[in-house]
Amino acid sequence: MTPIRRLAFVVNEQKPGACALAEDLVALARSHGVETRVSLAYPTPLEHFRDVDACCVIGGDGTLLGAAPAAAQAGIPLIGVNRGTLGFLTPFTADEARDCLPTLLSGDFRTSERALLACRVGEAPPVLALNDLLIKDAANSRLVRLEVLADDELVTDYLCDGLIFSTPTGSTAYNLSAGGPLIHPAAEVLAMTPICPHTLSNRAIIFRSGVTLRVRNVSESSDGLVVAADGRALPAPGAADTVEITLAADRLRLIQRRDHSHFAIVRTKLKWAGAAAEKR
């Protein structure tokens, strides 16, 4: 890989130790002749990723989710350093980041390319999401009936608490909590998982990469819909609006160590038992 000569930082100052760690990593990068810039903004503006080679995100998975859309649009890879809890997207610990940064700056790393969702409410511009899109009734206590079409073909209408549309990366997030499948991050698919469906035979569906999904509220009575992309609320759909979901043309690149193992991360974070776990 090409060495990193210009490195941006995104820092979540709410995470314990994040700012002190950022100071250490900035000083380390500068000692290797690397230009740096730092942002505390969430979500991170596109301008922060212009004219840099990579960006180091210090926080939790949510911090990286806030940086992902602009980084993907700018074509800038992200280094995720975990100061949060789970850390699926931020695999480097603070100590690993200090130890590995000189190696990464030299270009000795690999990248993992991740799909994003492009989500459009009505005629509004599309919004990117690395993990998932949630659609539910505005009243938390009420079921909603949602009609789903795939490439203009009716799939079904769901009476449920809501629907989760997930990338492979997001399959370990809300999708997993709702009983959806785990998907390898390199798979070019998206998952649709109903939340507490009234019909017990309704299950998650995996769609191919080129599909266009459209969702419409067909409830007889409803307070309207809440639509959220990676936890960020989008404009509420009007009564005649549809929500459109596709896989985006943009991809996000995550910088990883050459010995990075996706399944080792899954085993550790999800606390899987079994022979492989017992050997560690």
**Which residues are known catalytic residues?**
61
78 within 8 A of 55, measured Cβ to Cβ: yes
Sign of the C-alpha dihedral computed for residues 15, 20, 23 and 24 taken in this order: negative
Name the 3-class secondary structure at 161.
coil
Residue type (1 letter), 103: T
Q: Which residues contact 128 (CB under 8 A, 6 or more apart)?
A: 68, 69, 72, 73, 116, 117, 118, 119, 229, 248, 250
**CA-based end-to-end distance of the chain:** 31
Q: Which residues contact 77 (CB under 8 A, 6 or more apart)?
A: 54, 55, 71, 111, 253, 254, 255
Q: What is the DSSP string of 9-30?
A: EEE-TTSTTHHHHHHHHHHHHH
Element (H, E) at 65: helix 61-74
Tell how strand 6-11 and strand 205-208 pair up: unpaired
